[in-house]
Chains A and B, each alone.
Chain A
Amino acid sequence: MANWGDNTVSVIHTTSNTISATVGVGSNPYAISCDETLEKVFVVNGTSNTVSVISGYNGC
């Protein structure tokens, strides 16, 4: 889940409904998509005009 106001992404453990990690990304993250095969998460940073690529997470 992208946290638009504090420039982070929270990783939610979907079974337990708890936040398992928080990762800093660029400014105003808008949207996220996962490549489960490559185990990468792509985060769009709406005002820094970049995409952050998150790895080390095996499950979208």
Chain B
Amino acid sequence: MAITVEATIAVGSAPRGVACDEIVDKTFVANEGPSTVSVIHSVSNTVSATISVGPSPFGAACAETAGKTFVANNETVSVIHSVSNTVSATISVGGTVFGLDCDETAGKTFVTNYSSNSVSVIHIASNTVSATVEVGSSPYDIACDETAGKTFVVNTAVDTVSVIHSASNTVSATISVGTDPYGVACDETAGKTFVTNFADDTISVIHTSSNTVSATISVGLSLSK
């Protein structure tokens, strides 16, 4: 079957983050312009609801087992009850936030504080900040590998990735990658973590277990994530 675009869905202005919850068949899109989240019914490709969140939402991540979707706003995180599409809590974090990801095994959501060079750790069950971890300069995107128990943080200003031991909230390694890294994603099955380098138009492939760069891939123009 060919890879095709089967639908194009209108959402709010300046959409930034997106996260799928496969249990409720919803895809949540953070719209930075109107400070809303568009909820897409993933089966029918239609917008089923629009939720007001905090100012300038950017990243989004679903904790499917907990039934919560976390949205990174400017200095706060909105917690959406994924079934009812309502905001159940608003959590203050440290500075301008962009990326976040959930480790449901550890019961934690990790949030990058871009302006304060740290990561806030949210306890998913209680919606409270349980720890703050110092990382490199200008942390942007973040991704959890639940199998390895590691969380990877892209430090955009210093071209590195901080590896957080998810259980203990400590930085266990710092890895040099390409120039102006922004996005990161983990393939837990392959044991690889992929980092997009915006200025290089490359991807650094990190061997997740050893925290080393095993390959660099050249791709298209101006990578995002």
Contacts and interface: CB of A to CB of B under 8 A. Distances in A.
Interface stretch (B86-94, B127-135, B215-223): B215-223
A22 to B, nearest CB: 7
A52 B8 contact: yes
B17 interface: yes
Chain A CB count within 10 A is highest, among B6, B8, B45, for B8
Given A1-B203, A38-B22, A51 B29 contact: yes
B27 A1 contact: no
Interface string A26-47: 1011111111111010111111
A3 B221 contact: yes
Contacts of A17: 205, 215, 217
A38 B27 CA distance: 12
Interface string B77-102: 00000000000000000000000000
Contact of A33 (B5, B19, B196): B19
Looking at chain A's contact residues, the main secondary structure is strand
A56 B222 contact: no
B125 interface: no
B42 interface: yes
Interface of B: 1-20, 22, 25, 27, 29, 31, 38, 40, 42-43, 45, 59, 183, 187, 190, 192, 194, 196, 198, 203, 205, 215, 217, 219-225
24 contacts: A1-B183, A2-B223, A6-B221, A8-B220, A11-B3, A12-B203, A12-B217, A23-B3, A29-B224, A31-B17, A33-B18, A33-B20, A35-B20, A44-B15, A44-B18, A45-B15, A46-B14, A46-B224, A49-B15, A50-B8, A53-B7, A54-B6, A56-B4, A58-B1
Given A21-B3, A46-B15, A49-B14, 9 more contacts: A3-B219, A4-B224, A6-B221, A18-B217, A22-B220, A28-B224, A30-B224, A31-B225, A51-B18
